[in-house]
Amino acid sequence: MSTSLAPPGIVHEGTLVPVHNGGDSTIWLPFEKVKLYTNAFIIQDGKILLGYKKRGFGQGLYNGFGGKVEPNETPAQAAARELQEEAGIEAPLRHCGTLFFVLKNFRDHAFYVDIFVAKEYSGTIIETDEMRPQWFSTASEGLEKLDDMLPIPYDKMWADDVFWMPLLLADRPFIGRADLDKDNTMEKWWFAEKTS
The contacts of residue 195 (CB under 8 Å, 6+ apart) are: 14, 15, 16, 17
Nearer to ligand LR5KHM72, 63 or 98 (CB): 63
Identity of the residue numbered 127: E
Shortest CB 127 distance to ligand LR5KHM72, Å: 15
Binding to ligand LR5KHM72 by CB under 6 A, coded x per residue (else -) over 17-56, reads: --------------------xxx----------------x
Nearer to ligand LR5KHM72, 64 or 196 (CB): 64
The site that binds ligand LR5KHM72 (CB under 6 A) totals a number of residues, namely 18
Binding to ligand LR5KHM72 by CB under 6 A, coded x per residue (else -) over 118-137, reads: --------------------
Report how far residue 193's alpha carbon sits from residue 101's, in angstroms, rounded to the nearest whole number. 17
Parallel, antiparallel or unpaired: strands 34-44 and 174-180: unpaired
- Could you say which of 29, 42, 49, 63 contacts ligand LR5KHM72 (CB under 6 A)? 63
- Could you say which of 58, 60, 123, 151 contacts ligand LR5KHM72 (CB under 6 A)? 58
* Contact positions with ligand LR5KHM72 (CB under 6 A) in 152-171: 158, 160-161
Report how far residue 188's alpha carbon sits from residue 111's, in angstroms, rounded to the nearest whole number. 15
- Cβ–Cβ under 8 Å, residues 134 and 63: no
Backbone angles phi, psi at 87, to 5 degrees: -130, -10
* Contact positions with ligand LR5KHM72 (CB under 6 A) in 82-111: 101, 111
Report how far residue 118's alpha carbon sits from residue 124's, in angstroms, rounded to the nearest whole number. 15
CA distances (Å), 22 to each of 154, 181, 189, in order?
A: 18, 15, 5
Instruction: Give the residues lining the site for ligand LR5KHM72 (CB under 6 A).
Output: 37-39, 56-58, 63, 66-68, 101, 111, 113, 158, 160-161, 178, 180
